[in-house]
Amino acid sequence: MLAVCLAFPVRSAAKRFSKEKRRIVSIVVKKGDTLWRLAKHHHCSIVRIKRLNRMRTATIYEGQQLRVPARKPRALVRAFDPIKGQSIGGPRSGHLRHAVRLPRDPAYYLRRPYRAWGASHTVFYIRQAIAAVRRKFPKIHKLAIGDLSARRGGRLSNHRSHQSGRDVDLGLYFKKKPEHYPQSFVKAHPSTIHFPANWRLLRALISTSNKPGGVQRIYMDYNVQRMFYSWARKRGVSPRVLSHMFQYPHGRYSQHGIIHHWPHHEEHIHVRFKCPVGDDSCYL
């Protein structure tokens, strides 16, 4: 749906926050949104939003991703509502409609940009999790991002899934950026892995599991799970929290936790997101 915005002025709110330096965040346009409503909600002007997104007109559309100023980005995450009808079918037998492309960003490296398409909530939660890491570790190197889906979904070479815009492969953070990274994934090793940054990434992803369209499952090699589990236990993380997160130490075929074993996932994690609530065209 197209939404054409009339250029009404945003008065007091824009003046109140105009001199305040605010972080720029990414949002997804929902049905009924206009630039005027977004400007009012984010206490800025329509001109400011257009400049941030290099827009020549005031026309926006449902599913579009926009950069806007925000004082409290976490409130935007809580209010985010996944769009129905984008992810059709399942991860191994599906396709995409009105896909959203994961944009380029200094915080990460897209290994194959032509495979960086997903459902709106997939893109939103990926960026939110990486932003959480960057807030805690602003000098950390770029994160390698592998495949999401093709623009229209469907079969993707070298993958059994990644067909419906709800899967993504994410690399790992290291103490020192390895050679050939982030152009290629690099295996996790206790001596080189940046445990705090990766822990932050995992926690940020798993925190969405109780949100609409949040994380359903994360796939990680069982031995890599053991590395993170041991690191966290030594730092006082409770067994209850770890049991919610990890399959380890209950066995590779246990149904414990959100993070499950999958072969050949020593160098990256595979994150799968849920279907939007009530979306009958999407299934797990």
CATH number at residue 139: 3.30.1380.10
pLDDT tens per residue across span 5-36: 333 333 333 333 334 467 888 888 888 889 88
% the chain with pLDDT above 70: 89
Burial class (CB in 10 A: 0-12, 13-18, 19+), 278: exposed
> Is the predicted pLDDT of residue 76 greater than 60, yes or no?
no
Closest CA to 171 of 272, 274, 270, 273: 270
pLDDT for the residue numbered 135: 93
Distance CA 25, CA 145 (A): 19
Distance CA 129, CA 132 (A): 5
pTM for the whole thing?
Answer: 0.74
Mean pLDDT over each residue of the chain, to the nearest integer: 88
For the CA atoms of 207, 114, 263, 221, the dihedral, rounded to the nearest 10 degrees, stands at: -30
One domain, residues 92 and 229: yes
What is the count of structural domains for the chain?
Answer: 2
**Is there a contact between 209 and 215 (Cβ–Cβ < 8 Å)?**
yes
One domain, residues 75 and 92: no
Of 25, 53, 79, the position where a domain reaches its end is: 79
pLDDT tens per residue across span 226-274: 999 999 999 999 999 999 999 999 999 999 999 999 999 999 999 999 9
pLDDT for the residue numbered 21: 62
**Is there a contact between 5 and 41 (Cβ–Cβ < 8 Å)?**
no
Confidence bin at 79 (pLDDT 50/70/90): very low
* Residue ranges making up the domain that contains 94: 87-273
- Mean pLDDT, range 115-139, rounded to an integer: 95
> Is the predicted pLDDT of residue 72 greater than 60, yes or no?
no
Q: Show Cβ contacts of residue 186 under 8 Å, excluding neighbours closer than 6 positions.
A: 171, 172, 174, 178, 180, 267
